[in-house]
Amino acid sequence: MSDFTNTGIMVNGLDSVIAANTELSHVFGSDGKLVYCGYDIYELAGHASFEEVAYLLWKGHLPNREELDELNALLGANRELPQAVIEGLRQVSKDANPMDALRTGVSLLGAQSGTRFEGTPTFEEAVELAARFPAIAAAFYRLRQGLEPVQGRADLNTAQNFLYMMHGEEPTEGEWRGLDGYLVLLADHGLNASTFTARVIASTNSDICSCLVGAIGALKGPAHGGAPAKVMEMLNEIGSLDNVESWLTDALDKGQRLMGFGHRVYKAEDPRAEVLRGMAKQASTPEFFMLSKETEDKALAMLNERKPGRKLYTNVEFYSAAVLGAVGLPGDFFPVAFAVSRSVGWSAHVLEQVQVNRLIRPASHYVGPVPDKKFVPIEER
Ligand code: ACO
């Protein structure tokens, strides 16, 4: 019998396996550095708007005034949700995970009549989806409270619209700027699990909606984008400074992972965590910031002691919780805010993938029984 095992290299979890060329972003894990299209994230954080960063990822350069105005007009033209999507969202259970509602809403968009989202993914489709994500999330936020959705406005940017469509009133400058800063930081991050998912689906020549629906599913897990909601739960459970040490000790004794710490690629502090720490200090109450900082300091010390050499640092999710809470998002909407931002990274990767497409189809290592079994009809089993 011929050998049925693959001769390729087996890497569980695909750590360090290079599966695509990209010009979009790169994580320098041991240096704690993140680059978007040649810009260090520190160059963009606090300077560029989310729309400028989206344009950078889609087109490869920062927009000039005219290009930005065109993009904003295109986003503005897509802020209103089709009625069929709103009707579909009404059917979603009010206690559903908001990521399930988002995934359903994006899927409904792709299931409208006509030829939209059916051919090779385009820039216009990417922009449309970036405008639809916050609209879907906000519609579900209101529907689950028994309120009618508020349509987006063409004169507001993404961060403003997201908060406006959720709460029905214009956010303060501090709120929308905090959210805008967050959206800039999370827009892309190399070949993370959800982006890889989007590229795998794109590689089958599927449509861009399907790519982003799959990516939402991958992002939902607590090992990826589901973590900040869990960070908020953790901080709420800890509750006070004098409870930090005992809570963390108990969690680690039970073998639990501390949410907001550790990363597959970063073996130094995530630069986004540093920026978000500064934003959290400005935006959250002094009490909540002190609780977060004390939890971070104690957690890092304990992880260092219990997992020496593992290089576990604060990741982007830890201070995302404080920042997103301060701009008015409930904890279970934190992963949705992540998806709103990452939707532009996903679509940029989809557009890049289809330029140089080759079906992504790795091999598996067969570890099942040798094929010497004979079929036995069900009656005889
Ligand atoms: N708390 C406690 N221990 C941890 C943590 C943590 N947060 N993270 C890693 N470890 C430990 C592991 O138990 C393991 O210990 P061991 O070797 O003694 O068994 C060691 O550190 C290495 O961990 P890995 O599992 O190899 O790390 P991996 O790269 O697979 O996981 C991950 C990365 C999933 C992010 C992990 O650190 C984790 O679960 N963190 C908590 C969840 C979280 O914050 N997720 C958001 C990630 S950021 C993002 O996706 C945007």
What mean pLDDT do residues 295-304 have? Answer: 97
What mean pLDDT do residues 145-172 have? Answer: 96
Q: 259: Cβ below 6 Å to ligand 1?
A: yes
Q: 202: Cβ below 6 Å to ligand 1?
A: no
Q: 317: Cβ below 6 Å to ligand 1?
A: yes
Atom of ligand 1 nearest to the CA of 315: 48
The model's pLDDT over 300-321, given as tens digits with 9 standing for 90+, comes to 999 999 999 999 999 999 999 9
Q: 311: Cβ below 6 Å to ligand 1?
A: no
Residues in the chain: 381
**pLDDT over threshold 60, residue 1:** no
Cα-based torsion angle of the residue sequence 326, 328, 330, 336 in order, rounded to the nearest 10 degrees: -100
Cβ-count burial of 142 within 10 angstroms (0-12 exposed, 13-18 middle, 19+ buried)?
A: middle
- Measuring from atom 28 of ligand 1, which residue has the nearest CA? 264
Span from the CA of 262 to the centroid of ligand 1 (angstroms): 5
Span from the CA of 358 to the centroid of ligand 1 (angstroms): 32
Contact 81, 112 (CB under 8 A): no
Q: 224: Cβ below 6 Å to ligand 1?
A: yes
Which pair of tokens denotes residue 145? 């409270």
Q: 227: Cβ below 6 Å to ligand 1?
A: yes
Q: Which of 27, 257, 269, 334 to mutate to test the pocket of ligand 1 (most atoms within 8 A of CB)?
A: 257
Whole-angstrom CA distances from 242 to 216, 290, 295, 298, 300 are: 37, 12, 10, 12, 17
Rounded Cα gap, residues 355 and 54, in angstroms: 19
Residue 219: the pLDDT is: 97
Q: 306: Cβ below 6 Å to ligand 1?
A: no
Residue 5: the pLDDT is: 61
What mean pLDDT do residues 340-362 have? Answer: 97
Q: 315: Cβ below 6 Å to ligand 1?
A: yes
Q: Give percent of the chain above pLDDT 70.
A: 98
**pLDDT over threshold 80, residue 87:** yes
Span from the CA of 225 to the centroid of ligand 1 (angstroms): 13
Span from the CA of 263 to the centroid of ligand 1 (angstroms): 6
Among 351, 346, 280, which Cα is nearest to 317's? 280
Write down the mean pLDDT value for the chain.
94
Sorted by where each begins, the domain ranges of the chain are 25-221+332-355, 227-326
Q: 26: Cβ below 6 Å to ligand 1?
A: no
**pLDDT over threshold 60, residue 4:** no
- Measuring from atom 49 of ligand 1, which residue has the nearest CA? 224
Torsions phi, psi for 26 (to 5 deg): -150, 140
Handedness of CA 185, 188, 191, 193 (dihedral sign): positive
CATH code of the region 227-326: 1.10.230.10
- Measuring from atom 25 of ligand 1, which residue has the nearest CA? 264
- Measuring from atom 44 of ligand 1, which residue has the nearest CA? 260
Residue 2: the pLDDT is: 47
Residue type, 75: L
The model's pLDDT over 218-246, given as tens digits with 9 standing for 90+, comes to 999 988 888 888 899 999 999 999 999 99
Contact 68, 75 (CB under 8 A): no
Atom of ligand 1 nearest to the CA of 15: 29
Residue 114: the pLDDT is: 72
3-state per-residue secondary structure call for the chain: CCCCCCCCCCCHHHCCCCCCCCCCEEEECCCCEEEECCEEHHHHCCCCCHHHHHHHHHHCCCCCHHHHHHHHHHHHHCCCCCHHHHHHHHCCCCCCCHHHHHHHHHHHHHCCCCCCCCCCCCHHHHHHHHHHHHHHHHHHHHHCCCCCCCCCCCCCCHHHHHHHHHHCCCCCHHHHHHHHHHHHHHCCCCCCHHHHHHHHHHHCCCCHHHHHHHHHHHHHCCCCCCHHHHHHHHHHHHCCHHHHHHHHHHHHHCCCCCCCECCCCCCCCCHHHHHHHHHHHHHCCHHHHHHHHHHHHHHHHHHHHHCCCCCCCECHHHHHHHHHHHCCCCHHHHHHHHHHHHHHHHHHHHHHHHHCCCCCCCCCCCCCCCCCCCCCCHHHC
Span from the CA of 109 to the centroid of ligand 1 (angstroms): 35
Residue 245: the pLDDT is: 97
317 an active-site residue?
yes
The model's pLDDT over 249-290, given as tens digits with 9 standing for 90+, comes to 999 999 999 999 999 899 999 999 999 999 999 999 999 999
Among 72, 71, 81, 188, which Cα is nearest to 138's? 81
Catalytic residue among 189, 317, 349, 352: 317
Span from the CA of 259 to the centroid of ligand 1 (angstroms): 9
Catalytic residue among 263, 296, 349, 352: 263
Q: Which of 12, 185, 258, 263 to mutate to test the pocket of ligand 1 (most atoms within 8 A of CB)?
A: 263
- Which of 21-35, 77-91, 221-235, 291-305 is least confident? 221-235
Instruction: Describe the crossing of helices 271-283 and 286-306 by its angle, rounded to 10 degrees.
Output: 150
Contact 24, 352 (CB under 8 A): yes
Domain 25-221+332-355 listed as CATH 1.10.580.10: yes
Residue 229: the pLDDT is: 83
